Homo-oligomer: A and B are copies of this chain.
Amino acid sequence: MEQYFVNNIINSNRYTVDDKDLFKHIAVVLRHQTGDELFLVDQSKALFKAIIDQIDVDGKQIIFDVEKDNRPSTEMPVDLIVACSLSKKDKVEWIAQKSTELGAKKIILFSSKYSIMNWKSNIVEKKISRINEIVKNAAQQSKRRIIPEVIYYSSMKDLLKESAESKIVAYEESAKDGEQSLMAKELAKKPTSIIGVFGPEGGFAPEEIDFLKESGYTAAGLGPRIMRAETAPMYFLSAISFNYELQQLGDN
């Protein structure tokens, strides 16, 4: 069953969708009819089962009968931020989509020394707007309760604005030094918030790694194989989900 985010709090057993885009998607593109069921998630992250009661074609509104649904949240039990150095357009969009499916709460894109792309200030808004759209769709498809936030930082130094109990920078040189278990050691502390920072295809400059280490980051390898820039954050998110959502459940 499809799920859509709505821009209000739902606080009665009737709800009217009057967002033009959402009306068009549900009534025109997908041709839903009276009686069809779907999920709505409101601004308080509450989930509702919603049955179409009326489709007002002239007014471009859909009126739903709604009922709160109490199934467990699909959100990670840990606040996860992924910060990825800028890459080619399709890779950035892909990272945003997959990070959403894999449970990130915030997605940061930033410029670093060896980034193969830079966003000029006049295109940032357009780029972020397009990525927000991708992230919203991915959040709906994967049945998230929130839409992850997307941020752009033109300088790596801005990463210091982000606080988290555990700060990890993926660094393949660490793997070469045999430090492969540092990420597992960080997770074993069961932090309630984690930020993972990922470099571009060309990697981080040594001074960038030094800067992050001096700022409280652990430089951790993600296993012995070299991953592409877009693969490493997916590994990171998957490993954390496995650890927090499957293993710790198994511990009980």
Inter-chain contacts of A43 with B (CB < 8 A): none
Residues in A208-252 with C-beta less than 8 Å from chain B: 222-228, 231, 234-235, 238-239, 241-243, 245-247, 249-250
The interface residues of chain A, by DSSP majority, are classed as helix
| Closest B residue by C-beta to A73 | B224
Contact A225 B102 (CB under 8 A): yes
Residue-wise interface mask of A (181-208) relative to B, using a CB-CB cutoff of 8 A (1 in contact, 0 not)? 1011100100000000000000000000
8 Å CB contact of A180 from B73, B180, B231, B249 = B249
Inter-chain contacts of A223 with B (CB < 8 A): 103, 241-242, 245-246
Residues in A56-103 with C-beta less than 8 Å from chain B: 72-74, 98, 101-103
Is A144 engaged at the interface, CB distance under 8 Å to the other chain?
yes
Is A167 engaged at the interface, CB distance under 8 Å to the other chain?
no
Contact B144 A250 (CB under 8 A): no
Copies per assembly: 2
8 Å CB contact of A101 from B143, B144, B188, B227 = B227
Count chain B CB atoms within 10 A of each CB in A102, A223, A246 and give the residue with the most. A246
Is A118 engaged at the interface, CB distance under 8 Å to the other chain?
no
Is A155 engaged at the interface, CB distance under 8 Å to the other chain?
no
Inter-chain contacts of A183 with B (CB < 8 A): 242, 246
A234-B238, A235-B238 known; A227 vs B181 contact (CB < 8 Å): no
Contact B74 A180 (CB under 8 A): no
Inter-chain contacts of A143 with B (CB < 8 A): 224-226
8 Å CB contact of A184 from B144, B181, B185, B249 = B249
How far does the alpha carbon of A183 sit from the alpha carbon of B246 in the complex, in Å?
7
Inter-chain contacts of A246 with B (CB < 8 A): 180-181, 183-184, 222-223, 239
27 pairs from A and B in contact (CB 8 Å cutoff): A72-B224, A73-B224, A101-B225, A101-B228, A101-B231, A102-B225, A102-B231, A103-B223, A103-B225, A141-B226, A142-B227, A143-B224, A143-B226, A180-B245, A181-B250, A184-B250, A185-B250, A222-B241, A223-B245, A223-B246, A231-B234, A235-B238, A238-B238, A239-B239, A239-B241, A239-B242, A242-B243
